[in-house]
Amino acid sequence: MVSKYHDLRAVGVTLDSNDPDRTAVFWQAALGFRRREGDGNPYITLSDSPAGRPLNHLTIQRVPEGKTAKHRLHIDLFVSDDTASVAELIELGARVLVPAEGSGHMGMRATVMTDPDGGEFCVVCKA
């Protein structure tokens, strides 16, 4: 249920990065978004996915500090063929942290990966 106290129009996610250009290139290719605005000092915003706007936009924000711990928020990419998707994301610069095994929550399996800047995300597929 959407709160009656505000008018929710869209949801966006902002990722911290030491190299916004590199991170934006990866996520632009992974999500099919286009680069909308910003030069990386401090923001680059990606939007307009051809996948029916599952996420309104993704903003990459330059930060001075490196990643020191696991993110408390991550992106899940729901796909129909996780093997092909994982291989394609690796070609774009992602890395596998934890390979998918068997069937997990609600009959789904997830491969835990990182983007080129070390940000965690999951590729999720029906087992």
| Domain boundaries along the sequence of the chain | 11-65, 73-127
- State CA 54 to chain mean position distance: 12
Residue pLDDT, tens place only, 73-84: 889 898 989 999
pLDDT at residue 58 greater than cutoff 80:
yes
At residue 50, φ and ψ (nearest 5 deg) are -75, 0
Would you place residue 96 in the very low, low, confident or very high pLDDT band (cuts 50, 70, 90)?
very high
CATH class of 73-127: alpha beta
Reply yes or no on whether the pLDDT at 47 is more than 90. no
Whole-number mean pLDDT of the chain?
Answer: 86
* Res 4: pLDDT: 61
Overall average pLDDT of the 93-105 stretch: 88
Work out whether strand 57-62 and strand 12-17 pair parallel, antiparallel, or are unpaired: parallel
Domains 11-65 and 73-127 in one fold: yes
- The Cα–Cα gap between 113 and 102 comes to 17
Q: Do β-strands 12-17 and 34-37 pair in parallel, antiparallel, or remain unpaired?
A: unpaired
Domain 11-65 CATH superfamily: 2,3-Dihydroxybiphenyl 1,2-Dioxygenase, domain 1 (3.10.180.10)
